[in-house]
Amino acid sequence: MNGEQIQQPDLQRYRTDEGYARSMMQQTDPSVLIYQLQTDDILEELEMNLKGFDYDANEGKYIPKRDRIINNKGLSIIMTLLKMELNKTKILSYYEDEDVKIRCKEFEENLVDILKAKYKEWEIDINFLSSIRAMLGNAVYSAYMRALKGGERAFLKGTEKRIETYSERERNKGMLGGLGLGKSRMF
């Protein structure tokens, strides 16, 4: 009886892993791993927030909700800075805790310097400077946290392995099933 209790969690984990792999295989986008690395959606959401837009799921598009926070010239430069930080190279890197802290601090210090120098030219209300720093700093921090100790790389490697295992199992099941060996018969 004790042996059965020990085996139950392993069986549940197997079912969970298999279900996960099955759901990954059934995604409409056949390249789930590439989608995981794309930062376009994150960048678009940040850009649209700075423009004063929110995504409306019912309408399937961004709609204006408030005044824009920054003019087009400033937005262009801010987005360039963000694209240098939010990309697959950074996400697939390996960073230690201290590396993440240093890089995020550097980004925020540079951002504060730029905002301080350009906020009038970019038509930013001085009251929004801290909010902009926090919004963009949090996005950059989140990207670096995905790379903490190679976490994103390890996650994707594990996902790829589960998908390959599932595919191989399904392929073998089909081959054995054609020979009448796919399913065991219980009498």
User: What pTM was estimated for this model as a whole?
Assistant: 0.62
pLDDT: which is higher, 171 or 81: 81
For 178-183, which contacts have Cβ atoms below 8 Å and span 24 or more sequence positions?
A: none
Domain ranges across the chain:
32-162
Q: For Cα atoms 117, 124, 127, give the angle at the middle one, nearest 5 degrees.
A: 100
Identity of residue 33: L
In the chain, what is the straight-line distance between the N-terminal and C-terminal CA atoms, in Å?
25
Question: pLDDT tens across 155-178, in order?
Answer: 666 554 455 555 555 555 655 555
Residue 87 contacts residue 39 (beta carbons within 8 Å): yes
* pLDDT for res 164: 52
